[in-house]
Amino acid sequence: MQRHLVLRLSSPLIAFGGEAIDNLGVIRDFPALSMVTGLIASALGWDRSEAQRHDRLQQRLLMGCVLVPGAQRVQDFQTAQLAKDDRAWTTWGLPEERAGGAGTYAGPHLRYRDYHADLCAWVVLVQRFAEEAPTLDDIAAALDRPARPLFIGRKPCLPAERLVAGWQVAVDVRTALQAIVTVHATKASVNGWRAQWPDGEGTQVGERVLDICDERNWASGMHGGWRPVHEAILSSMEVAS
């Protein structure tokens, strides 16, 4: 049996970002491993330039997620006329200055951004080399008292409540997710909750196994590689294989 850290990602708007195409910012159905790694790193006060620390944390994390039914997707059209002297807000509290030639300010900045509206996602975490710092206890403490403001995918997506939702003791990640569904599912969600968990962390009748690309190379800033995950519908009545 292992102890799993349980997070609840809940906000009026959430962005589980995917591959951006030109000015279109798309979203994934489930949070990326890189996003959760970055969220934890921000809470710990790490700088993004600390690539080795980020990569090691990402390598150690095993993450599963289950989605509460009822959320919707919305698309926001964003436009702003930015001047050379305009500055952007950062979570460090220091303004970010713009760069670029005069031509980059000639017209308004236009883009589309997708979001999940009124989504609640339950995330469970366990670690390889559990005694290595930062431990799950270190992570839980940092998320409760973060070194800088936290957001779920994009800066407008501020958490609506405490991120740390407790602990779950289970034999694997799928079983930990199943325990959450068993406790929190209602008659309104009789058709079950969509879930995703890493390969080797349980199986489910009717599941599908697929490869996803959601790990970041923190030195280059690019995503690459593939990892296998399982996806299935979990209901309040457990159906393991």
Residue 200 CA to chain centroid, in angstroms?
Answer: 20
55 pLDDT above the threshold of 80: yes
Q: Rounded distance, CA 13 to CA 160, Å? A: 10
What DSSP letter does each residue of 54-69 carry, written as one string? HHHHHHHEEEEEEE-T
Q: Rounded distance, CA 3 to CA 127, Å? A: 9
Reported confidence tier of residue 203, pLDDT bands at 50, 70, 90: very high
Output the pLDDT for position 78: 82
Reported confidence tier of residue 190, pLDDT bands at 50, 70, 90: low
Output the pLDDT for position 229: 98
139 pLDDT above the threshold of 60: yes
Kindly report which listed range (12-21, 69-78, 122-131, 145-154) carries the lowest average pLDDT score: 12-21
DSSP count for the chain of H helices, then E strands: 4, 13
With pLDDT > 90 as the criterion, what percentage of the chain qualifies?
68
Output the pLDDT for position 114: 92
Q: Rounded to 10 degrees, what is the CA torsion of 20, 21, 27, 33?
A: -40
Architecture of domain 2-77+113-234: 2-Layer Sandwich (3.30)
Handedness of CA 46, 164, 28, 99 (dihedral sign): negative
Domain map (residue ranges) of the chain: 2-77+113-234
Q: Rounded distance, CA 134 to CA 147, Å? A: 14
Q: Rounded distance, CA 95 to CA 89, Å? A: 5
Strand 109-127, strand 24-25: pairing = parallel
Output the pLDDT for position 233: 95
Residues 164 and 192 sit within 8 Å (Cβ to Cβ): no
Reported confidence tier of residue 189, pLDDT bands at 50, 70, 90: low
